[in-house]
Structure 1
Amino acid sequence: MKFLFAINPVSGGVAKAGWEDGIRAYFSESVHEADLMQLTGEDDDVRLRERIEQLRPDCVVAVGGDGTVKLVAEQLLKTTTPLGILPAGSANGMARELSLPSRLEDCLDVIVNGQARPIDVIAINGNNICLHLSDIGLNARLVRYYQRNNWRGQLGYARGVIRVLLRKRLLTVQIRTEQQVLNRNAFMVVLANARMYGTGAIINPEGNVADGRFEVVVLRRISFWEFLKMFWRYRPFDSSKTEIFSATSVCIETRRKVYFQVDGEYMGRVARIDAEIQPGQLMVMLPQTADGGTVL
């Protein structure tokens, strides 16, 4: 089998030389082939597409964080070529969601010996996809601060939370699904294909990336400590403050333009989001369980 590794050398602020050495060492004693490609941040989508067409790999592996995973996934949508993940970023939300191991050799074992399973994606505004979590409001503004100031670690997170909450404003939102129309005032609205953020915070306890649906999570009231705790440990949701409902499509409109992020990437300000589930459009390599199944 042939494996193509798309390596983001700067994700997580950590050099990937050790990862590259580990990949080469693993495959040096294998009958399989590994081809390593460095991402540069310039025309990576075009370069990756050309390399896939040239190499025809049996699996394409994203080495980086959620942004790298999304970049690779976009090239594999609606194909039979599975996505492998080596979680090497500052936020590894999809790796957490899929119960992937953190050790390099264990992850490589999953990529080579695991099982490919289909997962859903959310199509957003016709030209974007969400694998994991998208939102408007507080967290999207926090993502913007992170990217603009290049903040890292717990201190950077705390600084961002304080800054966001000092400037928080209620959003006036209309949410239309195939079943209902809701008008809400909220600090944050999440489109959740999965359960948790990259920090491990569970925002959507019943989420499942392979159930043919996604959840809309509406945070109507929130304090500093609630927002801070939400990203460090699970706590029961208070239904008077948070609503969660399932959908296959949704249109969200706001009275004014609001901050918007998709899978950890700030997308600017928007006043409307149209989202629709696309079931089983991406194949992903998953670890096998003791009974021969997978985590999904």
Structure 2
Amino acid sequence: MSTASPQSSASSRASVPVILNPVARHGAVQKRIEPLQSAFAAHGLEAVLVESTSEQNATDLAAEFAARGAPIVVSLGGDGLVRAVAAGLVGTRTSLGIIAGGRGNDFIGKLGIPKDIAAAVAIVANGRDRTIDVLDLDGQICVGNVSLGLDSTVQEYADSVRRIKGHWVYLYGVVRAIMPPRRIALALTIDGEQVEFRGLSAGFANSGRYGGGLKLSPEAKLDDGLIDVVLLKDGFLPRLAAELVAFTVGKHTVGKHKLHPHIHFGHAREVHIAATEGAEPVEIVADGDAVAQTPATVTIRPESLQVRVPAAEAQ
């Protein structure tokens, strides 16, 4: 394991391991290191920086720190690194701390962790630990969402641009992805019930947020022991486009009235996903990254990860 050398003036400080992705945001994360170290020092802590060489390496590093008894391991990167570090901490008593360093940073939005470095470090130093659920995709840990179809296409378009910032890049991706949309045909088994689905997107949510603040499932909870199932059916394209844009900014209902007839919501504890017979495998995206293809099974692992959150973050 390669770690930064402790500063000579920091001998009395408690050390906090910080796993970082050196190429996050095309290397922009490097600019966050100096203010991060200063913020830790202001709380009497030393940030011990460890560069990961891959997602699996980040997972292994986190697991090693947990085995050594570290009370917290911090991720400095995007949602992909959060997922990788979380995978090494699931089932342990070590908490996951998060400092934003990616593009979307959706998981911290759900937890109420700000993007500002000093504010996020203050939470690492003085926040509380909360136990949450995670998704398990055939053994791969996912903290936010698993999706197929339109979300994958949106991600492709979002990754292709550099000048559009924040959630606007994903709204751009939505508009591009539906002109014309790619359709998927899936054979789903939802808690034992077989469902044939043909449409634009299938999402299985834990956090319910993606794309820099867009909302896949606004009412998703991180600790309810359930997967939020969101199926976007096919429909008349102009109406569907209007529904989809409203949907992605979280306007799903008005009072008790459902706003989007083409969007199905449900809950499950286990979902098996397969392409329909004779169809090509469908790409599966987890926390913004393409990680697998159908067939696959998503399950919920209740109360399996500790995260460091603000003392009074929204539930």
Task: Report the AA paired with residue 295 of structure 1.
Answer: A
CA distance in 2, matches of 1:157, 1:197: 9
Deviations 1:50-86 (A, max 9, x none): 8627964321111111011111111111110000011
Which of residues 278, 285, 295 is equivalent to 2:301?
278
CA distance in 1, matches of 2:214, 2:55: 32
Q: Does residue 135 of the first structure (1) align with residue 147 of the second (2)?
A: yes
Aligned partner of 2:289 in structure 1 is 265
Which of residues 166, 172, 187 is equivalent to 1:174?
187
Task: Report the AA paired with residue 306 of structure 2.
Answer: M
TM-score, normalised with respect to structure 2: 0.81
Q: Is the 8 A contact 2:143 2:206 kept in 1?
A: yes
Q: Is the 8 A contact 2:185 2:197 kept in 1?
A: yes
Aligned partner of 1:295 in structure 2 is 314
Task: Report the AA paired with residue 259 of structure 2.
Answer: D
CA distance in 2, matches of 1:6, 1:178: 36
TM-score, normalised with respect to structure 1: 0.86
Aligned partner of 1:238 in structure 2 is 259
Aligned partner of 2:241 in structure 1 is 224
Using the TM superposition, give the Cα deviation of residue 285 of structure 1 relative to its aligned residue in structure 2, in angstroms: 0.2
Deviations 1:101-128 (A, max 9, x none): 2221111111111111111111112x31
Using the TM superposition, give the Cα deviation of residue 47 of structure 1 relative to its aligned residue in structure 2, in angstroms: 6.2
Question: Sequence identity, in percent?
Answer: 25
Deviations 1:145-201 (A, max 9, x none): 445x46562586466445432342332222222263322222100010112214212
CA distance in 2, matches of 1:124, 1:246: 16
Q: Does residue 252 of the first structure (1) align with residue 273 of the second (2)?
A: yes
CA distance in 1, matches of 2:176, 2:140: 29
Deviations 1:187-219 (A, max 9, x none): 100010112214212221220011111111000
Q: Is the 8 A contact 1:175 1:183 kept in 2?
A: yes
Q: 1:152 to 1:47 in 2, by over 3 A?
A: farther
Q: 1:180 to 1:239 in 2, by over 3 A?
A: farther
Using the TM superposition, give the Cα deviation of residue 272 of structure 1 relative to its aligned residue in structure 2, in angstroms: 1.9
Within a 5 Å distance, the mapping from 1:171-210 to structure 2 comes to 171-178=184-191, 180-210=193-223
CA distance in 2, matches of 1:278, 1:86: 24
Q: Does residue 27 of the first structure (1) align with residue 40 of the second (2)?
A: yes
CA distance in 1, matches of 2:183, 2:31: 45
CA distance in 2, matches of 1:71, 1:253: 25
Aligned partner of 1:63 in structure 2 is 76
Q: Is the 8 A contact 2:19 2:58 kept in 1?
A: no
Alignment length (residue pairs):
289
CA distance in 2, matches of 1:286, 1:158: 28
CA distance in 2, matches of 1:43, 1:212: 26
Q: 1:50 to 1:194 in 2, by over 3 A?
A: closer
Within a 5 Å distance, the mapping from 1:1-40 to structure 2 comes to 1-13=14-26, 15-40=28-53
CA distance in 1, matches of 2:68, 2:44: 17
1:97 aligns to what SS in structure 2? Answer: helix
Within a 5 Å distance, the mapping from 1:70-81 to structure 2 comes to 70-81=83-94
CA distance in 2, matches of 1:186, 1:50: 39
Deviations 1:249-281 (A, max 9, x none): 11122222223211100135x332211110111
CA distance in 2, matches of 1:285, 1:48: 18
Q: 1:181 to 1:78 in 2, by over 3 A?
A: same
Task: Report the AA paired with residue 205 of structure 1.
Answer: P
CA distance in 1, matches of 2:298, 2:17: 31
Q: 1:153 to 1:14 in 2, by over 3 A?
A: farther
Specify every segment of 5 or more residues in structure 1 that has no aligned partner in the other structure, as ranges. Answer: none
CA RMSD of aligned residues (A): 2.6
1:129 aligns to what SS in structure 2? Answer: strand
CA distance in 2, matches of 1:23, 1:287: 18
Aligned partner of 2:164 in structure 1 is 153
Q: 1:169 to 1:60 in 2, by over 3 A?
A: same
Q: Is the 8 A contact 1:2 1:58 kept in 2?
A: no
2:295 aligns to what SS in structure 1? Answer: strand
